[in-house]
Amino acid sequence: MSLQILGEINKNYLTALRVHDELSQVFEFIGLQGYSLWHFYQYLEESCTQRKIKAYITDTYGVYCVDEAPPNVNIGEPLLKGKTRKGLKIETSWDIVKKAFAAYCAFEEKNLQLYQQKALQAFQNGDISVFNFISDLVRDVKNELTYLNGKMAELASYNYEMAQISAEQDTYYERYTHLIGTLFKPKEQYHHYNSAVSKLDDV
Ligand SMILES: [Fe+2]
């Protein structure tokens, strides 16, 4: 039963990766490199999480986790179909930014509901290990949503002013360049291991 719950969560992560990939492309298209990298970071971060989900499934149940093809998330195409970068007007970009943020927020709200529901199911099954594992995912998506809601309140406070949005792209690009670097930092245990190896090499 809990295996099925985790399989459904894995499936949703495939959708999540599609959502972040499409949003990254949407912001890239309209020239907002900082927001584009924000979504690429989320793509990478959630890809790492999905790997943990698959590892948990294999480590706990000893089975291979089968991926289904992710559904069409239908974000990029409705926003950009038929448009060209050269033909973009400021009103069009403004509209795309608003709709892209709204789609992002709606998706994460749905995720939070889904993971909470799955955590509850695991708890009711008495599977506390799986409950704890899913609780970490609930915490992650809640943090993502809190940050996003704060950003959307800020954007609304100046009515998604494009000049302001363009001006902050460098800051976002720097922030997410840094955060992407933190995803692949060596673990402390390997530092110890490597220093032990280098000591042996020095002998
Ligand atoms: Fe996300």
Distance 144 CA to ligand 1 centre (A): 7
Residue 196, domain member (yes or no): no
Intervals of the chain under pLDDT 50? 199, 202-203
Q: What is the pTM of this model?
A: 0.89
Residue 141, domain member (yes or no): yes
Distance 114 CA to ligand 1 centre (A): 13
What pLDDT, on the 0 to 100 scale, is given for residue 119? 98
Distance 18 CA to ligand 1 centre (A): 10
What pLDDT, on the 0 to 100 scale, is given for residue 202? 46
The domain that holds 12 is classified in CATH as: 1.20.1260.10
Residue 194, domain member (yes or no): no
Measure the CA–CA gap between 139 and 153, rounded to whole angstroms. Answer: 21
Distance 61 CA to ligand 1 centre (A): 27
Residue 54, domain member (yes or no): yes
What pLDDT, on the 0 to 100 scale, is given for residue 58? 96
Residue 193, domain member (yes or no): no
Domain that holds residue 133: 2-183
Residue 113, domain member (yes or no): yes
Residue 203, domain member (yes or no): no
What pLDDT, on the 0 to 100 scale, is given for residue 160? 98
Distance 198 CA to ligand 1 centre (A): 39
Measure the CA–CA gap between 139 and 199, rounded to whole angstroms. Answer: 40
Q: Which helix (H) or strand (E) holds 30?
A: none
Distance 106 CA to ligand 1 centre (A): 11
Distance 111 CA to ligand 1 centre (A): 8
Measure the CA–CA gap between 81 and 89, rounded to whole angstroms. Answer: 15
Residue 200, domain member (yes or no): no
What pLDDT, on the 0 to 100 scale, is given for residue 195? 57
Distance 20 CA to ligand 1 centre (A): 7
Distance 87 CA to ligand 1 centre (A): 30
Domain count for the chain: 1
Q: Residue 139, class by beta-carbon neighbours within 10 Å (0-12 exposed, 13-18 middle, 19+ buried)?
A: exposed
What pLDDT, on the 0 to 100 scale, is given for residue 103? 98
Measure the CA–CA gap between 143 and 120, rounded to whole angstroms. Answer: 19
Q: Which residue has the tokens 């999540």?
A: 16
Measure the CA–CA gap between 10 and 118, rounded to whole angstroms. Answer: 12
Distance 94 CA to ligand 1 centre (A): 22
